[in-house]
């Protein structure tokens, strides 16, 4: 079946300031998929579909007891814009004590409605950006990287992609089942897990935080044409610095920091 890639065929509109800002709209919760003990995929059907690029995010706003107005937070899209942009999967990890994420993870059910606005962001990859692509994510930072991988699958691309994914252990790794399945099916995809709190699990190549040696190994093995780093600000800044030291052109590196 031919796939309509028009909604994701160009990164030319990355940051196009002439576009009208999206307005808040209602989205129906279609499904909640448990990705890890503390993380879900929130599958939403938008009232108004909007073209988005792999890597972008939506803002979600909720009424929170004790707050006079709604509270909003950003959540990346983990699904592919191809073939359908009217249904989006947001990946949400619960932050203990947080105002919004515990409500999204624990309180919603299919048939509920939430308010969203988007898509937003310049952290995007499409065919036009080329490869090989190096994706580096920690924790929920893997969500927008998964959108890029799923887009490559849906659009039948075979650009080499390597994901370095840091999680506390296998069960807490976002999308661990899907990633294992996709890496098995597609030779252009390589997934390198590192587990920070499980020193023995053989499903990980490494058992420590992402460090300079790990990044040097993947860059030497396959020099990236484009790199995307997403997660906690310190990890993102460290990896950015190590890549520059390894000779990667900073202009080819895009980052998204989850503050
Ligand atoms: C571009 C972007 C994309 C993102 N995408 C994702 C994504 O795909 N998935 C995802 O899970 N997250 C994502 N995030 C992070 C997300 O937006 C939220 O920041 C996260 O979910 C926490 O929000 P919260 O309301 O639950 O917690 P917050 O209410 O913001 O609290 C965060 C932490 O601060 C503590 N805290 C709050 N107030 C105080 C206080 N007064 N004193 C002391 N401590 C306090 C809380 O206990 C909690 O531990 C993204 C962020 C950005 C910027």
- Residues 177-216 have pLDDT tens digits of 999 999 999 999 999 999 999 999 999 999 999 999 999 9
CA of 211 to the centre of ligand 1 (A): 24
How confident is the model over 127-135, as a mean pLDDT? 95
Average pLDDT over residues 138-166: 97
- In order of 28, 90, 92, 253, the CA distances from 38 in angstroms are 22, 14, 9, 30
- The atom number, within ligand 1, closest to the CA of 95 reads 26
pLDDT band at 112 (very low <50, low <70, confident <90, very high): very high
With cut-offs at 50, 70 and 90, classify the pLDDT of residue 255. Answer: very high
Protein residue with least CA distance to atom 13, ligand 1: 75
What is the structure's pLDDT at 19? Answer: 61
> Using one digit for the tens of pLDDT, what is the confidence trace for 213-248?
999 999 999 999 999 999 999 999 999 999 999 999
* The pLDDT value given to residue 12: 42
Across the chain, the runs of DSSP E, i.e. the strands, are: 25-36, 39-46, 57-62, 71-76, 87-93, 113-120, 133-138, 161-167, 189-195, 226-231, 253-257
SS (H, E, C) 161-183: EEEEEEECCCCCCCCHHHHHHHH
Give the distance (Å) from ligand 1 centre to CA of residue 232: 11
- Write the residue with the smallest CA distance to atom 43 of ligand 1: 97
Which ligand 1 atom is the nearest neighbour of the CA of 57?
Answer: 3
Q: Give the residues surrounding ligand 1 with Cβ less than 6 Å away.
A: 57, 73-76, 91-93, 95-101, 140, 143, 256, 258-259
Helix axes 212-221, 233-245, angle to 10 degrees: 50
CA-wise closest residue to 7 among 120, 85, 96, 93: 85
Instruction: Work out the pLDDT band at 14, boundaries 50, 70, 90.
Output: low
Residue 22 pLDDT grade (very low, low, confident, very high; cuts 50, 70, 90):
confident
CATH top class, domain 24-120 = mainly beta
Q: What spacing in Å lies between the alpha carbon of 94 and ligand 1's midpoint?
A: 9
CB-CB contact of 95 with 140 (8 Å): no
37 CA distance to ligand 1 centroid (A)? 18
- Which residue's CA is minimally distant from atom 51 of ligand 1? 258
Mean pLDDT, range 146-170, rounded to an integer: 97
Q: For the chain, which residues make up each domain, given as ranges? A: 24-120, 127-257
In this prediction, residue 118 carries a pLDDT of 97
Tell me how far the alpha carbon of residue 102 lies from the centroid of ligand 1, in angstroms. 10
Q: For residue 116, what pLDDT is reported?
A: 98
pLDDT of 129 above 90: yes
Of all protein residues, whose CA lies closest to atom 48 belonging to ligand 1?
98
Decide if pLDDT at 13 tops 60.
Answer: no
| 245: Cβ contacts below 8 Å, ≥ 6 apart | 212
pLDDT tens digits along 73-102: 999 999 999 999 999 999 999 999 999 999
Q: Which CATH number fits domain 127-257: 1.20.1260.10, 2.60.40.10, 3.40.50.80, 3.40.470.10?
A: 3.40.50.80
Q: What's the mean pLDDT in 46-67?
A: 95
Q: What is the pTM of this model?
A: 0.94
pLDDT surpasses 50 at 7 = no
Q: Which atom from ligand 1 is nearest to the alpha carbon of 90?
A: 8
The alpha-helical segments, DSSP class H, found in the chain are 101-106, 142-154, 176-185, 212-221, 233-245
Q: Report the separation in Å between the CA atom of 64 and the middle of ligand 1, taken as the mean of its atom positions.
A: 14
Same fold, 24-120 and 127-257: no
């Amino acid at each position: 079946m031919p796939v309509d890639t028009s909604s994701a065929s160009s990164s030319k509109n990355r940051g196009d300031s002439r576009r009208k800002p999206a307005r808040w709209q209602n989205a129906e919760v279609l499904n909640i998929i448990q990705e890890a003990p503390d993380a879900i995929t929130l599958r939403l059907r938008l009232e108004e579909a909007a073209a988005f690029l792999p890597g972008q995010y939506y803002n979600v706003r909720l009424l929170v007891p004790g707050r006079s107005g709604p509270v909003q937070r950003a959540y990346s899209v983990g699904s592919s814009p191809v073939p359908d942009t009217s249904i989006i999967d947001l990946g949400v990890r619960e932050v203990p004590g947080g105002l919004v994420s515990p409500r999204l993870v624990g309180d919603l059910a299919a048939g509920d409605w939430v308010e969203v606005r988007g898509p937003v962001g310049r952290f995007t990859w499409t065919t036009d950006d080329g490869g090989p692509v190096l994706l580096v994510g920690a924790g929920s930072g893997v969500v927008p990287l998964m959108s890029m991988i799923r887009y490559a699958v849906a659009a039948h691309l075979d650009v080499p992609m390597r994901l370095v994914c840091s999680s506390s252990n296998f069960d807490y790794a976002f999308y661990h089942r899907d990633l294992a399945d996709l890496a098995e099916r597609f030779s252009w995809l390589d997934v390198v897990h590192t587990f920070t709190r499980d020193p023995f699990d053989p499903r990980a190549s490494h058992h420590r935080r992402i460090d300079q040696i790990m990044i040097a190994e993947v860059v030497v093995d396959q020099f990236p044409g484009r790199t995307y780093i997403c997660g906690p600000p310190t990890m993102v800044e460290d990896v950015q610095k190590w890549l520059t030291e390894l000779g990667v052109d900073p202009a080819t590196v895009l980052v998204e920091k989850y503050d």
